[in-house]
Amino acid sequence: MAKLQFGFEFVADEDQKSHIILIKSITDDDGKKYSIPQNYQSCKAHPYELMKLPEFRNVAKSLQKRGQFRNVWMKLSDEILQLYRDGSGNMIINNYLLQDISGMEQSKANTSADQIDTTLIRLLEKLCESESMKDCKSTNLNRACDKFVLDRFEGKKMNSNQWLQTYESECNRLGISKDVEKIEALRLFLDEAAEEWFNSMLIKHTISSEWVTWKEHFLQTFADRGWSSVTYALNYKYISGSLLDYALKKERLLLETDKNMNNITLVNLIVHGLPKFIRNKIDRQNVTAPVALFSELRKFEDIIETKYVKANENRFKTFKTEMKPKFKQPCKICEGRGNKNRYHPVDMCWFNVRENKSTESNKRINSVLEIDTTEDPKN
């Protein structure tokens, strides 16, 4: 007896209502697989003795759903085997030579595996390219942000409109034109309350929204509708330190309130906050622009430094003398009477008060006696 492996599949019949079992392939002991033509796949085209074998009955029990298949080895008698093999050992069915598909299946499997590998490699390459592009974009954005000439916005005393205009001009200068890139870069220049505003905007509108939306919300949130920044800029005066630092800061504060302010007004307001003795040394005719004022103020740095150093030294000396510890001294009157370790002012001493009262009474008595002696005797 010899063994052959039959490939069974459970499929629908032509009427699509009933089911039949088809024999699609035969494999011999050497592992060679042969395909069966479609017109010979029905069980009716095979010998009836094959259907009586217990292996076939087990296959019929196992296949219950469409599309299920089983590869089953079956022991065949010589009579049945002659129906599947000719005298030369070729695999046949009803004298029809079957095609060996073992090599074809292997080549197909290899081809499909190669195709899968190629597809996976391409997908991985695309993923790597996209990741590298993202990294490259983020790196380029960080490099561009390092070149920004802009202070961080915290949302308190800064002019939001002026700051946002400067931010947009810097974006244009450094080639940041996409809305997403502008929004990503904006986060790097926000502090404190402004940073909290950015996080809430991410939740409400996401980073993929339009830049116009972010711009409108930014100006509405941080719009300066009061006069605090204006009054602060106008009342800002020199107290101590460098004159040039004061002038530069006041110029910035004034320009934040009105960027179109002319040079004469800027100079007048900056000079207004200087000490009087410095104002008197500046020639108004020669100073017509902030730049000229800055160079003029640098001449007086040594004077202002010497003056304020001396003033601070005098203050320190006065403070030092005032802060000297005052030691208590015992009362001299009490010590003279033998009462030691009595610490109180001499004016408040009980013995001193008593003596003063006695002297006052003696003075009164003496004055009365004096008056009596000076009066003329009565006739």
Mean pLDDT, the chain, whole residue set: 80
- For the chain, 379 residues long, give each residue's pLDDT as a single digit of tens: 788 888 899 888 887 778 888 888 988 888 888 888 888 888 888 888 888 888 888 888 888 888 888 888 888 888 888 888 888 888 888 888 888 887 665 555 555 556 677 777 778 777 766 555 555 555 577 777 788 888 888 877 777 888 888 899 999 988 888 898 899 889 888 888 888 999 999 998 888 889 999 999 998 888 877 788 888 889 999 988 889 999 999 998 898 888 889 999 999 999 999 998 889 889 888 899 999 999 989 888 888 776 655 555 555 555 555 555 556 788 888 888 888 788 888 888 877 766 665 555 555 555 554 555 555 554 4
Q: What is the pLDDT of residues 29-49, one digit of tens each?
A: 888 888 888 888 888 888 888
pLDDT for 370 equals 53
* CA atoms of 247 and 259, how far apart (whole Å): 16
Closest CA to 270 of 191, 339, 287: 287
pLDDT for 379 equals 42
The answer to whether 21 touches 59, Cβ cutoff 8 Å, is: yes
Closest CA to 47 of 26, 30, 67: 26
pLDDT for 241 equals 85
- CA–CA distance from 376 to each of 85, 152, 367, 370 (Å)? 185, 101, 16, 12
Task: Name the pTM for this structure.
Answer: 0.40
What lies within 8 Å, CB to CB, of 23 at 6+ separation is 6, 7, 8, 36, 41, 42, 43, 46
The answer to whether 10 touches 64, Cβ cutoff 8 Å, is: yes
The DSSP 8-state label assigned to residue 140 in this structure reads: H
Angle of CA points 330, 336, 341, to nearest 5°: 30
User: 33-35 and 19-27: which strand pairing?
Assistant: antiparallel
User: 96-97 and 99-100: which strand pairing?
Assistant: unpaired
pLDDT for 232 equals 87
